[in-house]
Structure 1
Amino acid sequence: MNNIIPAAALQGLRVIEMGQLIAGPFAGKTLGEFGADVVKIEAPGSGDPLRNWRLIKDGTSVWWQVQSRNKRSIALDLRSGEGQDVARKLIAEADVLIENFRPGTLERWGMGWEELSKVNPGLVMLRISGYGQTGPYRDLPGFGAIGEAMGGLRHLTGEPGRVPVRCGISIGDTLAALHGTIGILTALYHRKVNGGLGQVIDVALNEAVFNVMESLVPEYSAFGAVREAAGSALPGIAPSNAYRCTDGFVLIAGNGDSIFKRLMQTIGRNDLATAPTLADNAGRVARADELDQAIEAWTLMQPVQEVLDILGAAGVPAGKVYTAKDIAEDPHYRARDMILSQTTRDGYEVDVPGVVPKLLGTPGTVRSSAPGLGDDTDEVLQELGFSIQDIAAMRGRKVVA
């Protein structure tokens, strides 16, 4: 059996992460899982606020254990001139810089693109902000929730006529991070084949959300149609909805032509399966309410698992609404290494999400657990050429911690 571990896809890539909370750090997390050396700069004393978000175990958020695995932490005061000098030295030897401060912050610290590109022409710089680095809104504060609203997502979430709701996670931040990661990899490829020059990637939270809004604007442009919230249904595609069972809800996607016929036959509605007006999506959309009522009349007579078993045998896509408990106990998640046991630096074991996407030749891995604040300060500074005495002196001046 061949036990040779393949080299990581991004082995040798040096990333400096200056962001905090979600959008920037999620991009750093993704690169780190595929082998990049991610050095995270944090403020001495406080560190990344995510360390203290949501549920805390042994003084640290369990969210932090996911977001910051495979990273090294250096506690560095970026508001001091000396700290900025150290940061510039780090960036001068890096391939990628990730930051998600408000536009203009790095420029005030003497670390704008003009300055950094002079000392490192090959630098790829990801800048994530609320509204981008240009435009009339660039200086406004922006969080993921605001990006979701401006991007058009919040208007579509929830029940018709009721208050717009969020999807339950910081999806705007994560979408921005994923777009930023795509931008980094694209810019690195361009650098490789076009003379070694880096560039800036400008990602706005609202634009990352807007980019996944499908036909929202084309429909308005062509028809003046403003898409509205539709609850659990998918407007313009039928049948696709959540349906009540005796013990919960099941999602059924019966909107493919052949799938629809199998679904109707399975629930005992051959009259609908063979109706010429329901042979395509346009006809089904016109009778979507009728179809939903027919499906739910059937699902209401049985529990979720029985519905799933019957529809699975019939080749109809269906699924239950998973909770965290369902995910943690699901054998398919386990079989695909999507639930991993990770040992934290505090010594306890915690289940965390696996790595996505799955590269079969150079798979992503969890090489190290999330660091404590400043755990790697000395190591990183010594790599830059600072002596133990230099570091001790900087620590005395509170430049590092």
Structure 2
Amino acid sequence: MYQLLGGMRVVEGSSFIAAPSCGLYLAQLGAEVIRFDMIGGGPDFNRWPQAPGGASLYWEGLNKGKKSIAIDLSSPEGRELAVALIAAPGEERGIFLTNFPAAGFLSHERLSKSRPDLITLRVMGHADGTPAVDYTINSAVGIPQMTGPATLGEEPVNHVLPAWDLVTGAYAAFALLAAERCRRGTGRGQEVRIPLSDVAAASLGHLGQIAETSISGADRARYGNNLFGAFGKDFLTRDGRRLMIVAITTRQWTGLVAALGIAAQIKALEAQAGLSFDRDEGTRFRFREPLNAIVAGAVAARDHDALARAFDANGVCWGPYRTLHQALAEDAAFSTANPVFAMVDHPSGHSYLTPGAAATFGGGERSPPVRAPRLGEHTDAILAEVLGLSSGQIAALHDRKVVAGAEATA
């Protein structure tokens, strides 16, 4: 963690990935992020993967470094507390992060009546308010029909990485900071809406895929494990290790040719085709089948370790195929040798390798990642420090079951 956003308070009411990951990134850069949940937990509190004892490792991972207050949001008094928390006074306060529906008691219009300069960052499924998640967005923009081997025909391939959620969470953090900067200059609050569907559509536009399909009048075909538009594919070594090899730049391509000792074969193919593969990545893609055959033969003739030395010596872009379990055992990037990671004891009762901020800031001191809170762990402190309630008032809220602490929500 870093303290670059120290002094900023963000109140988060959210679930699943996109909005909580936005709050996570802000917390890892020093913002105070206060998350409110229903007593007993929201819809993502028990999501898989789970620890052997049943605690959600998913929830534990996405809410590191945040504070937690548990409120009965179904009661009018509980809703009033949530609104008071969101609209609490103070500079660098009045920032609300959510993926709850745009209507209702958490609508920006209603909340801004309590604090006119409020910033609301609302992650949505679709811009019209209809629900969507990463997997329904992905299926609707055509990615599953581009993924996998051509032999699948029309059968889709859903990816396991929730890419649109993660992109949206990162974009939401950026947009929230932009809105906060705007408020500093103008004093004006606003609601920022970020639909997953718009992030997906815009991303495909940025990558040229909308233009590609519009101009060609056809969808992109499936190319299996081949890298579209350049040279890249998986290859098997003599000792049965699988490698991903990529050559996008001229340097990467010439390094690969040198490392494998295939210059004569490549020159023969170039002479036959009347072209050069050195400078045009697109040409390498168009001739991927004969090039793949040449590279596959050379890779299959050597063991992994010999190839690794040759590739590294020649600046080849490559990487091994590993399971995550293998990566944790073999790759120093997944260890405390990497300053991003530390061993942390978590509320689930388990200690495991835990990431902090992915960025490294040369001008700031990195502190270890902070565990996620127990649900309701900071209820009393938040009520006292943020809302100024007395111990008697807090006790009365507990008695009426409007709020709960960590023991009550366990």
**TM beyond 0.5:** yes
Change (3 A) 1:302 1:61: farther
1:185 and 2:184 correspond? no
Q: Which residue is equivalent to 2:12?
A: 17
Q: Which runs of 5+ in 1 are unaligned?
A: 1-5
Equivalent residue for 2:390, pick from 387, 390, 395: 387
- RMSD value, Cα: 2.2
1:32 and 2:27 correspond? yes
Q: Which runs of 5+ in 2 are unaligned?
A: 405-410
- 2:358 is paired with a residue of what secondary structure? coil
- 1:341 is paired with a residue of what secondary structure? strand
Change (3 A) 1:282 1:169: closer
Change (3 A) 1:391 1:228: farther
Structure 1 range deviating more: 258-267 or 18-27: 258-267
Per-residue CA deviations over 1:313-355 (Å, capped at 9, x if unaligned) read 1111111123223332312444332332112245542112232
- Displacement of 1:300: 1.8
Structure 1 range deviating more: 381-390 or 18-27: 381-390
Q: Which residue is equivalent to 2:225?
A: 232
C-alpha contact 2:235 2:245 (8 A) present in aligned 1: yes
- 2:121 is paired with a residue of what secondary structure? strand
C-alpha contact 2:11 2:96 (8 A) present in aligned 1: yes
TM-score in terms of structure 1 length = 0.89
Q: How does 1:225-264 map to 2 (within 5 A)?
A: 225-237=218-230, 239-245=231-237, 246-264=239-257
Question: Counterparts of 1:211 and 1:232 in 2: how far apart (Å)?
Answer: 25
Q: Which residue is equivalent to 1:300?
A: 300
Change (3 A) 1:355 1:185: same
C-alpha contact 1:41 1:75 (8 A) present in aligned 2: yes
Q: Which residue is equivalent to 2:339?
A: 337
Q: How does 1:254-293 map to 2 (within 5 A)?
A: 254-274=247-267, 275=270, 276-279=275-278, 280-293=280-293
- 1:108 is paired with a residue of what secondary structure? coil
The total of aligned residue pairs comes to 385
Per-residue CA deviations over 1:197-235 (Å, capped at 9, x if unaligned) read 122221111222333331110112222241133221122
C-alpha contact 1:146 1:206 (8 A) present in aligned 2: no
Q: Which residue is equivalent to 2:141?
A: 151
Corresponding letter in the other structure for 1:353:
P
- 2:203 is paired with a residue of what secondary structure? coil
Q: Which residue is equivalent to 1:208?
A: 199
Question: Counterparts of 1:236 and 1:376 in 2: how far apart (Å)?
Answer: 52
Question: Counterparts of 1:49 and 1:164 in 2: how far apart (Å)?
Answer: 27
TM-score in terms of structure 2 length = 0.87
Q: Which residue is equivalent to 1:3?
A: none
Change (3 A) 1:365 1:144: farther
Corresponding letter in the other structure for 1:34:
L
Question: Counterparts of 1:248 and 1:186 in 2: how far apart (Å)?
Answer: 46
Change (3 A) 1:365 1:174: farther
- Displacement of 1:290: 0.8
Corresponding letter in the other structure for 2:158:
R
Equivalent residue for 1:197, pick from 188, 192, 198: 188
Change (3 A) 1:199 1:327: farther
Percent sequence identity is 26
- 1:241 is paired with a residue of what secondary structure? strand
Q: Which residue is equivalent to 2:407?
A: none
Question: Counterparts of 1:308 and 1:7 in 2: how far apart (Å)?
Answer: 36
